[in-house]
């Protein structure tokens, strides 16, 4: 009986040691994270140029273009530790017309259980003030994507374009909201922090996917309400651009995490 108890005790001890070793091995090293940015309009998937959406009680819109810059990505784990993705690699353009652009792959992420994500919308002043030569390949990428007014005027952080009709404007009329910082004089760069619906378990052998949904209806009916009959074209505007930036900041939620 004593021998049996001894064998059982040894088996339990070995099992615990093996499990502990296995757990320790799993949460060391580095892995990858995929971020998916999925644009919607209220509860509907966003469809460019083919679907009509209600902007408010009197206006209908058809959206033809949506682009925005995502930058300065940080992940916070369950211990409160923050991993900052290398700044020089942390500028991306999300385009509704380019499916590949909607997936961001982050590499060399420390293995951990992550519970929060933070990212910026646009280009921060620190980066902009590095000058044109300090932007690296991103400057050309932004120019090719139509995400700059000019170097002096700065980057477009957010582009939202299409056609609208209303009770007053029955003929389809173009609208365009372009938001960004105005050179170094007006800073509209903002950051978004979102709690994950469940932990993103980064391991050397598994890559979680964080699915972020952006509800574009928030642009016209967020903290500030915009009527297109009153303001269909907003580009460089000292009053309305910061209001658009706040609305953009509020359009993101984490829908789910795939592990």
Task: Transcribe 109-122 into DSSP letters.
Answer: EESEEEEEEEEEES
Check residue 27 and give its pLDDT. 86
> CA 213 to CA 209: how far, in whole Å?
13
* Mean pLDDT of the region 131-141: 95
Is 250 within 8 Å of 222 (Cβ atoms)? yes
Check residue 183 and give its pLDDT. 83
Q: SS3 of 132, please? A: helix
**pLDDT bracket for residue 57 (50, 70, 90):** confident
Residue 245's nearest CA partner among 184, 185, 195, 181 is 181
Ordered DSSP codes for 15-38:
HHHHHHHHHHHHTSSEEEEEEEEE
> CA 9 to CA 75: how far, in whole Å?
41
- Domain boundaries along the sequence of the chain: 30-258
| 140 sits in which H/E element | helix 137-144
Torsion 196-257-65-90 (CA) sign: positive
**pLDDT bracket for residue 184 (50, 70, 90):** confident
Model pLDDT for residues 142-151, shown as the tens digit of each residue:
999 999 999 9
**pLDDT bracket for residue 216 (50, 70, 90):** very high
Half-sphere exposure of 14 (CA within 13 A, CB side): 6
pLDDT, averaged across the chain: 91
CA angle 210, 212, 213 (to 5 degrees): 155
What's the token pair of residue 256?
Answer: 């789910």
Percentage with pLDDT > 90 across the chain? 85
Q: Is the pLDDT of residue 17 over 70?
A: no
**pLDDT bracket for residue 39 (50, 70, 90):** very high
Which is more confident, 16 or 108?
Answer: 108
- Residue found by looking up tokens 């009959």 in the block: 229
* Mean pLDDT of the region 191-206: 97
Q: SS3 of 251, please? A: coil
Q: SS3 of 192, please? A: strand
- Residue found by looking up tokens 């002096």 in the block: 152
What's the token pair of residue 4?
Answer: 């049996």
Check residue 16 and give its pLDDT. 47
**pLDDT bracket for residue 42 (50, 70, 90):** very high
Check residue 65 and give its pLDDT. 98
What's the token pair of residue 193?
Answer: 């922090």
Check residue 21 and give its pLDDT. 44
Q: SS3 of 250, please? A: coil
* Mean pLDDT of the region 182-208: 95
What's the token pair of residue 200?
Answer: 């993103």
């Amino acid at each position: 009986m004593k021998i049996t108890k001894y064998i059982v005790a040894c088996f339990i001890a070995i099992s615990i040691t093996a499990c502990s070793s296995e757990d320790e091995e799993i949460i060391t090293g580095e892995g990858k994270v995929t971020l998916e940015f999925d644009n919607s309009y209220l509860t509907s998937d966003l469809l460019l140029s083919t679907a009509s959406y209600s902007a408010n009680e009197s206006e209908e819109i058809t959206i033809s273009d949506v682009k925005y810059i995502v930058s300065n990505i940080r992940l916070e784990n369950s211990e409160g530790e923050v991993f900052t993705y290398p700044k020089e690699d942390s500028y991306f353009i999300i385009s509704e017309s380019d499916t590949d652009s909607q997936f961001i792959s982050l590499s060399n992420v420390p293995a951990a259980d992550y519970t929060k994500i933070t990212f910026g919308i646009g280009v921060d002043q620190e980066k902009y003030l590095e000058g044109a030569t300090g932007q690296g390949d991103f400057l050309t990428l932004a120019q090719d994507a139509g995400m700059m007014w000019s170097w002096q005027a700065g980057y477009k952080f957010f582009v939202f374009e299409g056609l609208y009709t209303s009770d007053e404007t029955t003929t389809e009329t173009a609208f365009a909201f372009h938001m960004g910082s105005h050179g170094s004089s007006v800073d509209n760069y903002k950051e978004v922090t979102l709690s994950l619906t469940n932990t993103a378990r980064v391991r050397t052998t598994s890559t979680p996917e964080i699915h972020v949904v952006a509800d574009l209806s928030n642009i016209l009916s967020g903290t500030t309400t915009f009527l297109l009959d009153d303001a269909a074209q907003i580009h460089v505007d000292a009053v309305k651009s910061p209001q658009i930036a706040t609305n953009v900041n509020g359009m993101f939620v984490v829908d789910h995490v795939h592990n």
